[in-house]
Amino acid sequence: MPPAPLPQQLTELSELLGRMCAAAAGALNRATAALLESRERLATQVVAGDEAIDALRAQVEELAGDALLFHSPVAGDLRAVVSAIRSAGDIERMGDLALHVAEVVRMRSPNPALPAEVRPAFAEMGKVAVQLALKAAEVARTRNVILAAELDTDDDAMDVLHREMMEVLMDEHWPHGVRSAVDITLLARYYERFADHAVVVARETVYAVTGQEPDALPI
């Protein structure tokens, strides 16, 4: 079978990245529910589901390789292919981070991993991170650079939540001991990193579309 024409391959790449990013959002959404409600079976589903995200990365890389091999794209088309390879790496990592959240749930089960008073903050971190990933999915699919510019600002909310959580732990009166502080430190970092990767995916798209790093753009 001859390879598809380049424009069709590029559209397919965008759609794959969008699906992959939406899958990572779904994984973190479920992992967060599992974390907040100590649902071990749901956590196990998240762990099992990570393979599907890894498989999407392999699909992106194969398609990108075909596009390079058969069409020798130039300029914006070349940037689109290269940035798809890079974005797929970031989104796979988002899936891994959702999996890490789920693993903490399973490790502590049947006990809850989180003391009750920090659950609202993690619910909020989960919400922000999932929204960022869904927006990154939309950016990857539609290559909308205006929307992409929003993610940097959205991510500030995550940084604030992360810093606040660290301050709660650092408080001398933290009553839940070291073990729970260690879990919370890692969990908070997983959410923060997940959000960072979503921002990078959006920035990759801006680079692919405009040829410029987002910092250089007047948007």
Chain contacts with its own copies (rule: CB under 8 A) = 61, 64-65, 68-69, 72, 74, 78-79, 82, 85-86, 89, 166, 169-170, 174, 177-179, 181-182, 185-186, 189
Q: Which is nearer to its own copies, 120 or 211 (CB)?
A: 211
Spatial separation of the C-alpha atoms in residues 166 and 36, rounded to whole Å = 18
Q: How far is the CB of 41 from its own copies (least distance, A)?
A: 25
Q: Which is nearer to its own copies, 37 or 117 (CB)?
A: 117
Q: How far is the CB of 38 from its own copies (least distance, A)?
A: 19
Q: How far is the CB of 165 from its own copies (least distance, A)?
A: 10
Q: Which is nearer to its own copies, 26 or 192 (CB)?
A: 192
* CA 124 to mean position of chain CA atoms: 16
Q: In sequence order, what DSSP letters do the residues of 170-204 get, joined into one string?
A: HSTT--SHHHHHHHHHHHHHHHHHHHHHHHHHHHH
Cα–Cα distance list, 101 to 55, 59, 194 (Å): 20, 25, 11
Q: Which is nearer to its own copies, 55 or 182 (CB)?
A: 182
> What single-letter DSSP state applies at residue 110?
T
Q: How far is the CB of 189 from its own copies (least distance, A)?
A: 7
Contact between 148 and 212 (Cβ < 8 Å): no
